[in-house]
Amino acid sequence: MLPVDPLTLLAFIPAGLALNLTPGADMMFCLGQGLRSGRRAAMAANFGIAVGGMVHTTLAALGLGALVAAHPAAFEAIRWLGVGYLLWLAVGALRASPFAGGVAVVPTSPARAFWQGLMVNLLNPKVILFILAFLPQFVDPARAILPQFLTLGLVFSAGGLMVNGAVGMFAGSIGQRLARSAGLSRWLSRISATIFGALALRLALMPRS
């Protein structure tokens, strides 16, 4: 027996995919990683974001998400940690310089990109508020709650992997071609830094509600 009713799952899939297709912080982060460090780093960051989403989903199912949402101090602490981390990534992108001959900007290893994607997702309290608002609409209180949350979270994360992965792969292909020029490499670093900085500003200015 499926944890989620099949008809409910059929209704959830297009709704989740539509939200995945909406440009947001996760998509922009994969775009920035792809431009800066190529396709492997973009996909690693993409998987990190997906794992972070599942952590948020599990916390929401266990009730910890509601606890964070109910305590402004905890929410603000997580939010400003996220802002600081994104600004640190922006500074790191600006400091990256082309290799001799202009082959590429300083690369980010897949392991590091995965960790960065995971931390960017976990330090965005808006994610858990979104999960608390969206997933319960498809949860049957007569069934076990945790398996339903995890199933819906997996489906939503799978959609995000496909959409953000496509964006990251495209950005990685374009970025690596442009990075053959030392001058363009510097511009790619600036573009990536701008994306990370814009995400930090977006997180800093977002309303709590």
* Residue ranges covered by each domain of the chain: 37-205
Q: Are 49 and 29 in contact (CB under 8 A)?
A: yes
Q: Point out the least confidently predicted range of 6-10, 89-93, 174-178.
A: 174-178
Q: What is the pLDDT of residues 10-48, one digit of tens each?
A: 999 999 998 888 888 889 899 888 888 889 999 999 999
Higher pLDDT, 68 or 76: 76
Region at 100 (left for phi over 0; alpha for psi -120 to 50; beta for the rest): beta
Contacts of 45 (CB under 8 A, 6+ apart): 29, 30, 33, 113, 114, 116, 117, 168
For the chain, what is the mean pLDDT? 83
- Confidence bin at 81 (pLDDT 50/70/90): confident
Q: Point out the least confidently predicted range of 27-31, 53-57, 128-132, 175-179.
A: 175-179
Q: Point out the least confidently predicted range of 55-59, 165-169, 174-178, 201-205.
A: 174-178
Answering whether pTM is above 0.95, one says: no
pLDDT, mean of residues 153-172: 93
pLDDT, mean of residues 62-86: 82
CA–CA separation, 17 vs 134, rounded Å?
13
Task: Tell me what pLDDT residue 61 has.
Answer: 87
- Confidence bin at 133 (pLDDT 50/70/90): confident
Q: Which two tokens stand for residue 38?
A: 């190529």
CA–CA separation, 137 vs 134, rounded Å?
6
Q: What is the dihedral of CA 69, 71, 75, 80, to 10 degrees?
A: 170
Q: Are 60 and 149 in contact (CB under 8 A)?
A: yes
- Residue 158, pLDDT > 70, answer yes
Task: Tell me what pLDDT residue 79 has.
Answer: 83
Q: Are 197 and 87 in contact (CB under 8 A)?
A: yes
pLDDT, mean of residues 191-200: 83
Task: Tell me what pLDDT residue 14 has.
Answer: 92
- Residue 98, pLDDT > 70, answer no
CA–CA separation, 178 vs 35, rounded Å?
9
**Of 173, 159, 194, 191, whose CA–CA distance to 42 is shortest?**
173
Task: For the beta carbon of residue 195, count every other beta carbon within 10 angstroms.
Answer: 23
Task: Tell me what pLDDT residue 183 has.
Answer: 60
CA–CA separation, 146 vs 129, rounded Å?
17
**DSSP annotation of 98:** P
Reported residue count of the chain is 209
Q: What is the dihedral of CA 129, 46, 29, 164, to 10 degrees?
A: -90
